[in-house]
Structure 1
């Protein structure tokens, strides 16, 4: 798989029926190793290992109804009060981060209303903090540590 702009992590990878599978430590099962899944698994490890997010407070491919249509958010992270605090949208390294990607995560956030949104293609990572009171947002220079946002 492609090198990413993230630390290097070890994963359990196996072949089955001419497909590569990667073990998802959050869902506790092997999933098909697509380019997007490679980014997602690395980004999850980054959040747990480098940013201190508890693995037990992470949901992967969680169903979110948007305009009565079921969608699946890549990663949702929860705070200490069991409320969602961050949505992460992962794309393959070959997908450029465009306004359409931000529109996708914004649709998920219409329902969840989290304080932090993250978009990554494994090479570029963007994090913005929402300000619902002032109807604005601000891009952050880096993804915050869990300890600093867990109470949001």
Structure 2
């Protein structure tokens, strides 16, 4: 059973319930209890942070979005859309004990070959990385901070 640990994100009140063999967390996006794993702990903190501190509407967030990559069914951890329905942010989360490595960036880059989203977020809850993708120039730029929703979706 996973014992929650402090993350490098503002604290939040998640609804946790104990089961016989595991702990569950209530996912506000999926409107159901999910088994609390280390990666889910990170994802739920990020969801809370994004809507309470960066003004990303919960209604425009999608967890576990499916995609097909080289004929394999994969799931992206978090997708965020703008009000026009375009994908604006793709996030990949890892457990706090998993080091963010080149392999992690390779994973999100492969997912983004399908999604083609201009803003990426990679985090294990301790370390956070943000970058923008310029598809025309075929390059990326790391950002110091994740933009607020209104700054990347000005039509809101």
TM-score (norm 1): 0.97
Q: CA deviation at 1:81?
A: 1.2
| 101, 106, 119: which one aligns with 2:104 | 101
Partner of 2:94: 91
Inter-partner Cα distance in structure 2 for 1:86 and 1:65:
18
Structure 2 residue 82 is matched with structure 1 residue 79: yes
Alignment of 1:1-150 (within 5 A): 1-150=4-153
Inter-partner Cα distance in structure 2 for 1:74 and 1:104:
11
SS class of match (1:65): strand
**Structure 2 residue runs without a partner (length 5+):** none
TM-score (norm 2): 0.95
SS class of match (1:47): helix
Inter-partner Cα distance in structure 2 for 1:50 and 1:93:
21
Once the two structures are superposed, residues 93-118 of structure 1 have per-residue CA deviations (whole angstroms, 9 ceiling, x without a partner) of: 10000000001111110011000010
Inter-partner Cα distance in structure 2 for 1:136 and 1:106:
11
Once the two structures are superposed, residues 30-69 of structure 1 have per-residue CA deviations (whole angstroms, 9 ceiling, x without a partner) of: 0000011000000111111110000000000110111121
**Structure 1 residue runs without a partner (length 5+):** none
Q: CA deviation at 1:79?
A: 1.1
